[in-house]
Amino acid sequence: MKTENFRLKIKRVIRAGLFNFWRNSTVSFASVLVMMITLVVIGLISFAGAILSTSLAELSNKIDINVTFVPTALEEEILRIKQDLESLPEVLLVTYVSRDEALVAFKERHQNDQSILAALEELGENPLGAVLNVKARDPSQYGSVAEFLEEGSALSASGVTVIDRVNYFQNKQAIDRLSSIISVADRLGFVLTVLLAAISMLIAFNTIRLTIYIAKDEIAVMRLVGASTSYIQGPFVVVGIIYGLVATLITLIIFFPITYFLARVTESFFVGFNIFSYYLRNFFEIAFIILVSGVLIGALSSVLAIRKYLKV
């Protein structure tokens, strides 16, 4: 019996919420519009975060250090150091470039400079040493990799270093700057996300508060006849959820043409990031975030507005 009464109350609350949504069509339209803007902002925050992450990852991939060995270094000594580097937790990838490969790459880079090519011919032998290209997991970790190379691991069996140079110290300023940019971007992105989300929720809250204010006489009557707090709040919470659902649907539809037309722009300016492809690839994840945000903002705003401003 209690279960049937509870179900009946739920049905009445939902029916009342749907009735209020359609009855106040003008206010509902305005509320859905504001909620849609709120969800668009949340979606744009998601896109901006993806663009920032992709751009920073691309920049990080372009930063590395080259370990150049003396021409007389034996291959087994170089491969030993390569293995030692790969065992470091800071190192993501180590690529070995032999002396012959280094010479071919050098000739390709200077194929239009006949004086350099002529000088190589005069030498009659390969003056270049083998190279290890080292990529760290994070730009801030190149310092510890460079320190490791300066230790005993860089020595040959005779106790003489086989490393000619490590270009970390030439690239140190660029690496430190990139590490600083990534750190600042992460903090700034978090602050902006929280700030924009708070502003969006505040706008939605005030719009729903207006809806509740319009129905204050109806609420007063319900209070006089002894309606419970949950029964009074229920229809407004349902209306808030409907605002979120409808705004979510419109937002997801609107993002299709927006991301499609911005695809070439983002691909050109943000290292090949195609925002339309990203939207299609992560559609369900984005839809879930926007849906949950819309429903929570609508329901929570309704509960807070009716409690604070009508003192139910």
- The better pLDDT of the pair 41, 190 is held by 41
76-90 per-position pLDDT tens digit:
888 888 888 888 888
Evaluate whether 128 touches 70 at the Cβ level (below 8 Å).
Answer: no
146-162 per-position pLDDT tens digit:
888 777 555 555 556 77
CA 279 to chain centre: 13
Q: What pLDDT is attached to residue 147?
A: 80
Taking residues 125-132, report their average pLDDT.
81
**Does residue 291 register a pLDDT over 80?**
yes
Helix locations, 150-274, DSSP H: 168-214, 216-224, 229-269
Cα 35-40-43 angle, rounded to 5 deg? 130
Q: Does domain 71-161 have CATH number 3.30.70?
A: yes
Q: What pLDDT is attached to residue 213?
A: 72
Taking residues 227-256, report their average pLDDT.
82
- The better pLDDT of the pair 28, 169 is held by 28
End-to-end CA distance of the chain: 28
- The better pLDDT of the pair 116, 262 is held by 262
**Does residue 182 register a pLDDT over 80?**
no
Of the pLDDT bands very low, low, confident and very high (cuts 50, 70, 90), residue 250 is very high
**Does residue 135 register a pLDDT over 70?**
yes
Taking residues 10-30, report their average pLDDT.
70
Of the pLDDT bands very low, low, confident and very high (cuts 50, 70, 90), residue 284 is very high
Q: What pLDDT is attached to residue 252?
A: 92
Mean pLDDT of the chain: 76
pTM (2 d.p.): 0.63
- Per the structure block, which two tokens stand in for 108? 């390709």
Taking residues 259-288, report their average pLDDT.
86
- The better pLDDT of the pair 98, 253 is held by 253
Taking residues 233-247, report their average pLDDT.
82
**Does residue 273 register a pLDDT over 70?**
yes
Closest listed residue to residue 128, CA positions, set 93, 97, 103, 95: 103
Domains of the chain, by residue range, sit at 2-59+179-310, 71-161
**Does residue 311 register a pLDDT over 70?**
no
